C-alpha cells in the first residue's frame, strides 16, 4: 500500500469520525425544552421567585378569595413588626380565649386558663397548630383599648393598616385568626409571605415541625405544651421552609408555602384546592425544574395534632 493510499484512508476515517460526531454535537446544542405549566386543583395560585421578584406561575392570581387561617401570617407580622416587641413577655391565658375556640369550632393550641405563656410561645401556638386561642391572646395583648373587644378590634385594624403599608390593596381582614370574611389574592398573599419571611423569628417558627415548651401554670406548677405544625408539606418536599395552612368551608383548603434549593427561594400560594399539597409540590417542581412531586409522601401528623 502506497503512502498516498494510507493518507486517503486516514482522511476517510477522520471524516467518518467527524460525521459520526456531528449529530451528537447538534443534539447537545439544542436548547432544553421548558417544562409545561402544571395543572392544579386550586382555584387560585401563584409562584414567585423571592430573589428576583418574578412571577413564575399564576392562576387567577389577582382574584379575591377567602384565605382562612393564612390570615394568621398577618397577625404574626403585626406582632413581630411592633417596635421594641418583647418576645419573652408573659401573657396570662384568659378563659375568653378558650371560649372563642368552642364558640367558633376553631383549631386550638389548647391554652389553659391561668397559664402564663410568652409572646414567642403564642406565635408558635398561632402558626403551628393554628391556634385561634393563641391568635386571640396576641390580639388582646397588642391591640389598644380598655376592653378585650376594643383591643381585638384595634388589632384587626392594625392588620389592615399593615396591608396598606405593604400595598396589598385587595387584602382585607375582619378577624385576627382568619375565621371571618378575611380575603386576599394569590399574588398579594405571596407578597405578604415574602414580607413575613424577612423576619428571623417568623422564619424559625414556620419551619419548625414540632414545638415543645413549658409555662407556669395557674396552680403554681409547670404546664408542658406540644404543638405540631399543620403544614404537611414541611418535611415532605425537600427544601420546604414553611409557612401556613388554612381551611374553612368558604375558603376551602389553602396553603402558603416557601422552599429553598441551591440558594434559590420560591414562595407560593394555593387557594381553595382539593389537593393543596400536591398542587404546591407541582408548583415547586415547575419553579425548580425538578420532579419531586410524583414520589412525594406526606409527613403524617400525630393523632392528637390539629388539622387546618
DSSP string, 239-300: TEEEEEEEEETTTEEEEEEEEEETTEEEEEEEEEESSHHHHHHHHHHHHHT---GGG--PPP
Span 101-123, pLDDT tens digits: 999 999 999 999 999 999 999 99
**Percentage above 90 pLDDT, the chain:** 88
Is residue 295 part of the annotated active site? The answer reads no
Query: Please, which residues bridge with residue 216 across strands?
Result: 222
Omega cis (within 30) before 243: yes
- Beta pairing class for 264-273 and 183-184: unpaired
Span 201-251, pLDDT tens digits: 999 999 999 999 999 999 999 999 999 999 999 999 999 999 999 999 999
Residues 223/112, Cβ–Cβ less than 8 Å = yes
| CA–CA gap between residue 9 and residue 3 (Å, rounded) | 10
Closest CA to 267 of 73, 17, 16: 73
207 is in an annotated binding site: no
Is residue 72 part of the annotated active site? The answer reads yes
Domain span at residue 146?
Answer: 44-294
CA 308-211-186 angle, 5° bins: 40
Task: Give residue 35's pLDDT.
Answer: 77
Task: Give residue 22's pLDDT.
Answer: 37
User: For residue 31, is it within any domain?
Assistant: no
User: Which of 8-12, 84-88, 190-194, 249-253 bottoms out in mean pLDDT, i.e. has the lowest?
Assistant: 8-12
Instruction: Please pick, among 72, 162, 207, 282, the residue that the annotation labels catalytic.
Output: 72
User: For residue 37, is it within any domain?
Assistant: no
Q: Which helix (H) or strand (E) holds 226?
A: strand 222-228
Instruction: Please pick, among 46, 77, 106, 130, the residue that the annotation labels catalytic.
Output: 130
Instruction: Name the pLDDT band for 4 (thresholds 50, 70, 90).
Output: very low
User: For residue 308, is it within any domain?
Assistant: no
Say how far residue 112 (Cα) sits from the centre of its chain. 28
Does the pLDDT of residue 74 top 70, yes or no? yes
Kindly give the residue spans of alpha helices, DSSP state H, lying in the chain.
Answer: 3-29, 72-80, 95-104, 119-127, 132-142, 148-165, 186-196, 200-206, 276-288
Written as nine digits, the cell of 235 is 418535611
CATH (domain of 71): 3.40.710.10
Structural domains counted in the chain: 1
Is residue 172 part of the annotated active site? The answer reads no
Closest CA to 87 of 76, 72, 100: 76
Instruction: Please pick, among 46, 69, 106, 273, the residue that the annotation labels catalytic.
Output: 69
The pTM (predicted TM-score) of the whole model is 0.88
User: For residue 307, is it within any domain?
Assistant: no
Instruction: Name the pLDDT band for 26 (thresholds 50, 70, 90).
Output: very low
Task: Give residue 9's pLDDT.
Answer: 44
Query: Please, which residues bridge with residue 224 across strands?
Result: 214
User: For residue 204, is it within any domain?
Assistant: yes
Amino acid at each position: 500500500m502506497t503512502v498516498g493510499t494510507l493518507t486517503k484512508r486516514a482522511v476517510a476515517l477522520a471524516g467518518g469520525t467527524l460525521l459520526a460526531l456531528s449529530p451528537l454535537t447538534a443534539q447537545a446544542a439544542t436548547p432544553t425544552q421548558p417544562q409545561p405549566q402544571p395543572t392544579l386543583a386550586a382555584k387560585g395560585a401563584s409562584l414567585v421567585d423571592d430573589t428576583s421578584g418574578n412571577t413564575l406561575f399564576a392562576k387567577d392570581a389577582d382574584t379575591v378569595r377567602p384565605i382562612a387561617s393564612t390570615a394568621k401570617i398577618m397577625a404574626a407580622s403585626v406582632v413581630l413588626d411592633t417596635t421594641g416587641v418583647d418576645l419573652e413577655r408573659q401573657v396570662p391565658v384568659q378563659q375568653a380565649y378558650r371560649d372563642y375556640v368552642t364558640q367558633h369550632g376553631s383549631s386550638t393550641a389548647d391554652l389553659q386558663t391561668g397559664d402564663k405563656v410568652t409572646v414567642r410561645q403564642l406565635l408558635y401556638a398561632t402558626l403551628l397548630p393554628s391556634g385561634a386561642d393563641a391568635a386571640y391572646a396576641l390580639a388582646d395583648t397588642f391591640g389598644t383599648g380598655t376592653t378585650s373587644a376594643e383591643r381585638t378590634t384595634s388589632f384587626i385594624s392594625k392588620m389592615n393598616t399593615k396591608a396598606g403599608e405593604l400595598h396589598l390593596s385587595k387584602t382585607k381582614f375582619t378577624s385576627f385568626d382568619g375565621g371571618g370574611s378575611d380575603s386576599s389574592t394569590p399574588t398579594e398573599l405571596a407578597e405578604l409571605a415574602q414580607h413575613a419571611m424577612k423576619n428571623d423569628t417568623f422564619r424559625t417558627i414556620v419551619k419548625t415541625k414540632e414545638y415543645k415548651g413549658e409555662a407556669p401554670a395557674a396552680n403554681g406548677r409547670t404546664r408542658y405544651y406540644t404543638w405540631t405544625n399543620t403544614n404537611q408539606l414541611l418535611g415532605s418536599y425537600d427544601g420546604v421552609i414553611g409557612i401556613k395552612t388554612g381551611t374553612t368551608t368558604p375558603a376551602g383548603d389553602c396553603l402558603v408555602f416557601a422552599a429553598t434549593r441551591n440558594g434559590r427561594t420560591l414562595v407560593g400560594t394555593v387557594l381553595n384546592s382539593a389537593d393543596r399539597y400536591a398542587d404546591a409540590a407541582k408548583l415547586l417542581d415547575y419553579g425548580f425544574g425538578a420532579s419531586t412531586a410524583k414520589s412525594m409522601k406526606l409527613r403524617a401528623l400525630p393523632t392528637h395534632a390539629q388539622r387546618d
